[in-house]
Amino acid sequence: MHASIYYLMFLVLAINPERPFDDSKSHLKPDAVILKNSNDTLNMIQTIKGFLHWYKQNYKKANSFKFTYEDKLGNYQVNLKDGENYLQYLKSSGYISDEYISLWMKYFTDKASYLKENIQNEGPPEGFEFDLILITQEPELILNAIEKLEFVVLEAKNNKAVMQISGDGMYNIDMTKKKGKWKIDYIATENYD
């Protein structure tokens, strides 16, 4: 399982080496947590909480998409159409950015190529054995404690920021503000990214 998470991290950096908060590329200084107004912090927290509440309420539907299937030989393949439909469903929440969609679509595409080259017929297939939003096999630990989460702005400059949330686990969430609204670009966990 851990190898596939490291693959995701590599994939994200390979797809977008200029990712705004990659430590080696960041233009932000550790003391550069500057938000134009205090409402930005509140709005970022509301975006994250709003998305987590939306995901909890829509968990069953979000996870009804079939990311993989067994071909006629019994080998796992990636269902790119359902992957795309899943991402569009997440985007319909209003909290997810195009960047988030692009990164995960690239993940699905790369996993499709990987499973064609590396036959796997025992499941769950590599890369799909955990909740894709919270990168865990126990998403309920976060989803059942949304109002108890702690939030800290780690980095912020212009219309980009990284918000850290902690509870039963820790996440760094890259965000972008467009047209006055903060959206989620990427969700990373302390254990895997």
- Is the pTM higher than 0.85? no
Domain boundaries, the chain: 2-10+27-189
DSSP helix, strand, coil percent of the chain (3-state; round to 5): 40, 25, 35
Q: What does the pLDDT look like over 52-104, one tens digit per residue?
A: 999 999 999 999 999 999 999 999 999 999 999 999 999 999 999 999 999 99
pLDDT at 168 > cutoff 70: yes
For the chain, helix (H) and strand (E) counts, in that order, are 6, 6
What DSSP assignment string belongs to 88-130?
HHHHTTS-B-HHHHHHHHHHHHHHHHHHHHS---SSSPTT-SS
| Strand duo 150-157 + 76-78: pairing | unpaired
Tokens of 55: 């995901």
Which pLDDT band, with edges at 50, 70 and 90, does 38 fall under? confident
Segment (H or E) for 171: strand 169-178
Model confidence pLDDT, tens digit, residues 133-165: 999 999 999 999 999 999 999 999 989 999 999
Tell me: cis bond preceding 139? Omega within 30 of 0 counts. no
Residue of 14, 49, 28 lying closest to 159 (CA atoms)? 28
Taking only the tens place, the pLDDT of each residue in 179-193 is: 999 999 999 987 654
